[in-house]
Structure 1
């Protein structure tokens, strides 16, 4: 059997949460490699700025970026996001489920609205993407899901109970998807450690915010996670990179 060489083929890649941090870094990296990125996020102005920032790289590589306003908690919007990508290029090859929020807090702070927001974005948002993209991947006999989980899926610390719970759910959902999918559909979970991003800006509990400032003393740049995504996508079609954990070298 001849294995398809997918390492240099331009792909249509959907990236959620692409307006900053890991999502923006992933989009920029893939555009520079010649891929066509459909970038989704709530902050459309940030996406247009990203398009301008990557314009030169896109012109050189042949890649492109198309900004789309997207709230992953809205199932209809996610379905439209996927449909738009297919209409523009005739297929979709990769869905990078990156959108996430991280308002850490102790459980006894009872910040229930923040818990609900994490559940809605980190779990329901991921499921909406899978539900929208899976039928297309199945019909075309190929596709690649990449979920950006977290080191929080593998360890729990004080203030991370709900966040770690949502990221463990993201890991479990993606692992279940991998086991259920036809082998022509690849599935990858990438769990970043401490990364420079805006995620910590959403922490409203003072104690958790202070702990995070200390914890983030040795953060790695989001480009490190973008490189991991690029690696997974670049493998031959018979190679499925199931899981990658990327964290600062100075942290255990």
Structure 2
């Protein structure tokens, strides 16, 4: 039986944990060959072996996408290995919370580098290949899914620069959607609420924030990475004539 994504190639950033890992598994189950991109090569190798053992196809690509040359090389390695690129999932993200007053600007720079510049680097490198795939079989359509956040829809005290990056992702996604979707490269944004991933642990060195996030996760039945992976799979498996521009997935307790 042919799966919906048989014959296609997907690249997932931030594939070494959480939403990225779950998305890579889901796309492989749907028949896509998957390039796993992140910095933690050991985890990528383990995931690639798992996908292969389950009958899928995966390639581990170690790269720091905040470096434009490494992001471009990751895309090029994917295309050279698999021969094409049909789906890009920009998932890599960093969340460092706290007030703007008295903040450490290096934390802002790190978030902007991962959440914004990394997404731009991979998208820029991938676009020529996605446009080409949209003109060819097997589907004659290609997809970009940018993983944003509810923090791209609503701003909160203490989330200032994280909000900035996610509002920026939403704005960039909408502009790019208007630029290229009629060329059958669909561009969509997926905005999760609370998900059980490593994201909150990025603030473990800040006791007040660690306590607040721990309380939220204790009191909320949060989403699992697989819930978001299901959303990504839904977006990229729509028929050619249907484009999902925005998908907002929230824990019922948080909605």
TM-score of the alignment, normalized to the shorter chain, above 0.5: yes
- For 1:229, the equivalent position in structure 2 comes to 232
* Corresponding position: 1:133 with 2:126: yes
Do the aligned residues in 1 keep the contact of 2:4 with 2:30 (CA within 8 Å)? no
Q: Distance in 1 between matches of 2:11 and 2:143?
A: 10
Do the aligned residues in 1 keep the contact of 2:195 with 2:223 (CA within 8 Å)? yes
Gaps of 5+ in 2: 136-140
The alpha-carbon deviation at position 7 of structure 1 amounts to: 3.4
Q: For 1:123, which of 116, 119, 124 is the aligned residue?
A: 116
The alpha-carbon deviation at position 238 of structure 1 amounts to: 1.2
SS of equivalent residue, structure 1 residue 22: helix
- For 2:25, the equivalent position in structure 1 comes to 28
SS of equivalent residue, structure 1 residue 107: coil
Q: Distance in 1 between matches of 2:154 and 2:216?
A: 14
Q: For 1:97, which of 77, 90, 100 is the aligned residue?
A: 90
Q: Which segments of structure 1 move beyond 4 Å, counting only runs of 4 or more?
A: none
* Corresponding position: 1:113 with 2:106: yes
- For 2:64, the equivalent position in structure 1 comes to 71
Number of matched pairs: 244
Gaps of 5+ in 1: none
CA RMSD of superposed structures (Å): 1.6
- For 1:147, the equivalent position in structure 2 comes to 146
Do the aligned residues in 2 keep the contact of 1:7 with 1:236 (CA within 8 Å)? no
The alpha-carbon deviation at position 8 of structure 1 amounts to: 4.6
The alpha-carbon deviation at position 182 of structure 1 amounts to: 4.5
Q: Distance in 2 between matches of 1:89 and 1:165?
A: 35
The alpha-carbon deviation at position 178 of structure 1 amounts to: 0.1
Q: Distance in 1 between matches of 2:211 and 2:168?
A: 26
SS of equivalent residue, structure 1 residue 237: coil
- TM-score (normalised: structure 2): 0.91
* Corresponding position: 1:250 with 2:247: no
- For 1:195, the equivalent position in structure 2 comes to 195
- For 2:217, the equivalent position in structure 1 comes to 216
- Cα pair distance change 1:53/1:8, threshold 3 Å: closer
Q: Distance in 1 between matches of 2:4 and 2:123?
A: 24
The alpha-carbon deviation at position 109 of structure 1 amounts to: 3.6
- TM-score (normalised: structure 1): 0.92
Q: Distance in 2 between matches of 1:52 and 1:91?
A: 22
Do the aligned residues in 1 keep the contact of 2:18 with 2:225 (CA within 8 Å)? yes
Q: Distance in 2 between matches of 1:6 and 1:56?
A: 18
Q: For structure 1, which segment, 31-40 or 224-233, has the greater mean C-alpha deviation from structure 2 after superposition? A: 31-40
* Corresponding position: 1:42 with 2:36: no
Q: Distance in 1 between matches of 2:216 and 2:172?
A: 27
